[in-house]
Each structure stands twice: as structure tokens, then as C-alpha cells.
Amino acid sequence: MLRRVLFAGCLAIGLLQATTAVRAAEQPIRLYVLDGGVLESDPGRYRLKPEEVQTTQLSIASFLVVHPKGTLMWDTGAISDETWTPGRRSVAKHLVLSNNADRYVTLTKSLSGQLKEIGYQPTDITYLALSHYHWDHVANANAFAKSTWLVRKSERDVMFPQPAAEPPQPSNFAALQKATTTLIATDDYDVFGDGTVVIKASTGHTPGHSVLYVKLAKTGGVVLGGDLYHYPEERTLNRLPSTDFNEAQTGRSREVLDVFLKQTGSQLWIQHDLVAHRKLKKAPAYYD
Ligand SMILES: [Zn+2]
């Protein structure tokens, strides 16, 4: 009798384990939107007049992709968590960039605080990928130095030039120099090997600028556009930024992405589009 009960118990545990494993494998991919605040900006840098844009302010966004085989952090915000303390009210930060330009960002939640709310610490994250190396995307990159960094050589070379450039490297991503790194050598890089999360070359804004395609079960395809566009009006009025590394290449990358969006029926999320960003569900809510 005891033996039969034990056998039944083992069978039940075995079944439970098998079901849990199947569930983990079948669990739909989740896309979390993390809010990095609001950036004061000048549409003139993107060949737009203030009266041509719905708002001159830009959103700062980061994203966490949770896949059955691991997690991917996409961009890391404009303000390092180490430089401020979240409270009840939003906090205004003034930054002086290495070229002495002033930037103003207002934010409410820290990146690590938002990750914590959904059960993660930066050190838990499997992969880090940055759309590009500019200051407003890399502020918390050092926190992800234990992740495997997925980067194009052309982008990494600008971040860590040899010999070192003056002024010294921005300290917010310095730790990535020693991180476990996968150098992406193809235009498309399939992060988890099943075509659902793909880093796509979209160069021009910077030498190795990329966008991220995420294929979600209910939402459908979403492309996180990095800085291929900043204001949605760059797209509707067909304007190119005046400060891109290679403006003509940005134009070509936009054309290539338009074809992909059409072919796959995917949405483009312009990461800096404040009006669109405000409408997105924020973590701990998610898209699946
Ligand atoms: Zn940006």
C-alpha cells in the first residue's frame, strides 16, 4: 500500500515537473516598457520647426524582453540610478554633456526600481543590447556588465576607441569594456534562435545603430526603433536629423525598415515619441 502511495506521489511530482517545464517553454514572450522620464529637446536638430511637432519634449524609454530562454534588456535610460533618489514627486536633472551641451530630464522612477517591481535585478538579465551608444540610452549600462553584451563591432569601436579618445570614455558604460561580449557580425541577429527577438542593423544615426524586432503572440510584431526617428513628424514629414553619423545611410535604413514593417505587419515604436510613449502600458504591466 505504502509503496503504491509512494509511487503515485512520485508520479504526481514527475507530472508536475514536466508540466512546469512545458509551461516555461510555452510561456509567451513578454515585453515590458520601462519609463525613463521626459527629455527637453530642440526639434531643430531634426530639421523640424517647433510648430511642426505635437510636443518638443521627447520620452526616454527602456525595454525588457522576457523569453523562455532568457531575458534581454534594450537600452538603459538617460539618468544613472546612482545619481538620484526617487521620491513621490518627479525629479528634474540637469546634465552637462562632454561637449558642454546642457540637457534636462525629468523622471519619477529608477530603472532598477522598475525591474525590481517585476522581479528582476540588473544582474539577473541574460543579455544587454543598446540601440546605440548615445548618453540618453546608456546611463545604467554599467549595471548590466554581468549580462552578455550584444553589440556590433562598429559601435563598440566608437565607444572604446584605440587609442582612447579625449575626453575620456563616458563612465556610464565603462564597465562594458570587460563584459562578456558577443560581436554581432550579421545585419540580423536572432537573440534566442527562434526568430522571435531579432536585433536588426539600422545604421546611420551611429555606425552600429540597431533596432529590435520582437514577435509577440497577442500584440504581433513590434519594432523598437532606437533613434532611427526621434519625433514621429520626422516620419510623417520625411525629415532627416542634421546630426547623424551618416545621414544618407539613415535614409536608406528607414526605407529598409519600412519594407520589413510592411512584410511582417509590425508596428514601429519610436522610442522618443512622447505622445505614443504615454499611451503605452508601463511595467509591471506588459505586452505579450
Ligand atoms: Zn536618443
Tell me, in angstroms, the distance from the centre of ligand 1 to residue 137's CA: 6
The pTM of the whole model exceeds 0.85: yes
* CA neighbor of 170 nearest in space, from 226, 101, 98, 122: 98
188-233, pLDDT tens digit by residue? Answer: 999 999 999 999 999 999 999 999 999 999 999 999 999 999 999 9
Tell me, in angstroms, the distance from the centre of ligand 1 to residue 133's CA: 9
What is the DSSP track for 149-174?
EEEEHHHHHHHS-SSPPSSPPPGGGG
Tell me, in angstroms, the distance from the centre of ligand 1 to residue 15's CA: 48
62-99, pLDDT tens digit by residue? Answer: 999 999 999 999 999 999 999 999 999 999 999 998 88
Tell me, in angstroms, the distance from the centre of ligand 1 to residue 132's CA: 8
Tell me, in angstroms, the distance from the centre of ligand 1 to residue 180's CA: 25
Tell me, in angstroms, the distance from the centre of ligand 1 to residue 17's CA: 44
